[in-house]
Structure 1
Amino acid sequence: MARSIKCCLSGNGRALCTWLGLFLIFALAPQTWAHPKDTLIWLKRDLPPLFIFEGPKKGQGVIDELLTELIAGMPQYQHSVMKVNRARGLQMLHEPSLTCDAALNWSKERETWIAFSIPVFRAMSNGLAVRRVDREVLAPFIKDGEVDLATLLATGSVTLGIVAERNYGEYLDTLLTQASPKTLTRHYGSDALGSLLQMQRLGRLQLLLGYRPEIRYQAQQQGIAEDELRFYPIRGTGKYLSGYIGCTDTPQGRQAIIEINRLLRTLPRDHLSEAYAAWLDPESRSAYLEASREFFEQQAGN
């Protein structure tokens, strides 16, 4: 190399110098010529036990850990993780950038503009949380331990707190669409559920709709003792629902879903189910684990 450079400096070494320069460009800076990776934006929302933004278990949610595995298994992308609220997350999924959310409910309406993965995990369905002192409000509407929410909302006599623009599953979304607006208290903030819990504590709303593990966790963060609240399942919802990964419905997004599905089929589901079950009350865990195992065995056989 030294002799070549010396020759370049001589009067008749210009051709060699040109070739040497080209060699250095290609050999020492290959990244300049490499095809740039597509950037895949992952959306995260404060949704315990799936995503956890604050507290002693920060970053240790069920999908926090799955997302780490997905990112490690997809080196063909440049990954970027962004924390958003529900409204902003849905807005970004409408935009053309390559964006994915790792914890979405499926619906027919959403499938028209979101590319969905195969089912990723199973979760307990949404239920109602009521203050212990207000539980008599529900008494006339409880049958076999479940609340007839359709009849309850039709009375127009209660206020129900919900997270704005959250999908609660097709059955509940239909009920909420049909309900009188005066019976619903919607919250759009980043800490929507925590704020709704405080409103309920102050008596500004009577009922709160959500996932029991999430409500239990947020209640602890708000300093609300668990025995202050009572939880009830809702008739017609089914005991469990599936969570999915959803990406922007573009050629890039649909290709990402193909690669995500390929990776999901290689990951053990038992670990994910056990991580979720750890957040449930003890009497619910064994039934959940059995139901989750049967569901994914059936999925694998289809």
Structure 2
Amino acid sequence: MKLWLALLMILTLCPRLPAEPLIVVDSVAILKAAQSSENPEGLLLKQVLAFYPDSYRTESLSRNRARAWIKTSGNACIPWLKKTAAREQEYLFTLPYMVEDALLLVMLKNSAWHPRLQAMQRAGQLSLHQLLQLPKGPLLGIELNRSYGEQLDLLLSQNRHSRALYTRTSSSEDMGSMLPMLERGFIDGLLEYQKVASRARLEFTYYRIQKAEPVNLVYFACSKGKQGEAVVAGLNQAIRKVSLLPEYQTLVLQGIAPAQQTGALAYWLDQLRSE
């Protein structure tokens, strides 16, 4: 009953505001994968865009160029981004249109590091800080233009000169762009969502990490300015409507561990009401 009351409240809060033609960037790879049942991100994005109250088109740009381009384009957005204080200085953010599970440390199943990592676990979690302090620890791959959550971002920034970190800026639109480096042995591990890593068709072992956010809200980041405000209003209207659909909620929860799904759904719907 509480869940349905929450959904009705979301619907009543859905304003009918004038929108603006929308350009969606850094999204071609996500939308191409929408046909796969193992890739709900594309299906969720398509459903939100289907409810958008104006026209939209996609623009194929590299990730770095896309993030710079939307700052001046006026009416463009990038999907599947986390909201951070630093990013809010540069972009407008919509309501969260989906949630992801906690980020995990991903290691190849045959990695020689497992005995050491298992010995370091406390209450089923690893301290990334301790891992980075090992004199000769595993080499972890990190994308500089990605947010891993406020606390992990701070930790990684504080250890950015660590020999245990291999950092790069990803220009690819593809999710899990560092997984090929793990497969080839260039790095020993990386931080990724389990559902994304599992698409690589490799055998992995996953470790939960201290300070990783248990549920990650996912947003559109959009151009600032009056056009951007109209785009965000239109997307928020679409997100509120599509969030009421049971099939959309099922897709949202597809990447969440079963034991966390009820809490994740309630948290997401609560954020739709409160933001």
Normalising by the residue count of structure 1, what TM-score does the alignment of the two structures yield?
0.72
Are the structure 2 counterparts of residues 272 and 175 from structure 1 closer, same or farther at C-alpha, using a change threshold of 3 Å?
farther
Equivalent pair of 2:63/2:173 in contact (CA under 8 Å): no
Q: How does 1:9-158 map to 2 (within 5 A)?
A: 39-45=21-27, 51=30, 53=32, 57=36, 61-77=39-55, 79-132=56-109, 133=111, 134-155=113-134, 157-158=137-138
Equivalent pair of 1:87/1:164 in contact (CA under 8 Å): no
Are the structure 2 counterparts of residues 194 and 256 from structure 1 closer, same or farther at C-alpha, using a change threshold of 3 Å?
closer
Name the CA distance, whole Å, in 2 between partners of 1:44 and 1:274: 25
What are structure 2's unaligned runs of at least 5 residues? 1-18
Name the CA distance, whole Å, in 1 between partners of 2:192 and 2:43: 22
Are the structure 2 counterparts of residues 39 and 154 from structure 1 closer, same or farther at C-alpha, using a change threshold of 3 Å?
same
Deviations 1:60-85 (A, max 9, x none): 843422333333333433x1113444
Match of 1:248 in 2: 223
Name the CA distance, whole Å, in 1 between partners of 2:57 and 2:114: 44
Name the CA distance, whole Å, in 1 between partners of 2:196 and 2:79: 17
Match of 1:186 in 2: 167
Q: Percent same amino acid at aligned positions?
A: 22
Report the more deviating stretch, 289-298 or 232-241. 289-298
Equivalent pair of 2:99/2:253 in contact (CA under 8 Å): no
Letter in 1 for 2:261: L
Name the CA distance, whole Å, in 2 between partners of 1:256 and 1:193: 25
Deviations 1:125-170 (A, max 9, x none): 2110112233124234311111100121133533111234111111
Are the structure 2 counterparts of residues 240 and 195 from structure 1 closer, same or farther at C-alpha, using a change threshold of 3 Å?
closer
Deviations 1:85-143 (A, max 9, x none): 43233222322341111211010111111101122111102110112233124234311
Are the structure 2 counterparts of residues 257 and 208 from structure 1 closer, same or farther at C-alpha, using a change threshold of 3 Å?
same
Equivalent pair of 2:34/2:41 in contact (CA under 8 Å): no
Are the structure 2 counterparts of residues 42 and 180 from structure 1 closer, same or farther at C-alpha, using a change threshold of 3 Å?
closer
Name the CA distance, whole Å, in 1 between partners of 2:124 and 2:36: 32
Equivalent pair of 2:21/2:231 in contact (CA under 8 Å): no
Normalising by the residue count of structure 2, what TM-score does the alignment of the two structures yield?
0.78
Name the CA distance, whole Å, in 2 between partners of 1:147 and 1:175: 14
State the 1:244 CA deviation. 1.1
Name the CA distance, whole Å, in 1 between partners of 2:175 and 2:191: 9
State the 1:174 CA deviation. 0.9
State the 1:38 CA deviation. 5.3
Deviations 1:195-247 (A, max 9, x none): 63333233321111111111111x22xxx2x3xx1001111123111111121
Residue 234 of structure 2: which of 259, 273, 291 is its match?
259
Name the CA distance, whole Å, in 2 between partners of 1:45 and 1:189: 13
Letter in 2 for 1:251: K
Q: How does 1:259-278 map to 2 (within 5 A)?
A: 259-267=234-242, 268=244, 270-278=246-254
Name the CA distance, whole Å, in 2 between partners of 1:147 and 1:279: 21
Report the more deviating stretch, 118-127 or 175-184. 175-184
The answer to whether 1:176 aligns with 2:151 is: no
Equivalences, count: 250
State the 1:297 CA deviation. 4.2
Name the CA distance, whole Å, in 2 between partners of 1:193 and 1:74: 24
Name the CA distance, whole Å, in 2 between partners of 1:250 and 1:214: 34
Name the CA distance, whole Å, in 1 between partners of 2:120 and 2:45: 40
The answer to whether 1:208 aligns with 2:185 is: no
Name the CA distance, whole Å, in 1 between partners of 2:49 and 2:167: 34
What are structure 1's unaligned runs of at least 5 residues? 1-36
Letter in 2 for 1:197: L
Report the more deviating stretch, 268-277 or 135-144. 268-277
SS at match of 2:66: helix
Report the more deviating stretch, 235-244 or 66-75. 66-75
Name the CA distance, whole Å, in 1 between partners of 2:142 and 2:27: 16
SS at match of 2:233: helix
Higher relative contact order (CA 8 A, sep 6+): 2
Letter in 1 for 2:134: T
Equivalent pair of 2:34/2:42 in contact (CA under 8 Å): no
Match of 1:237 in 2: 212
Larger-Rg structure = 1
SS at match of 1:177: helix
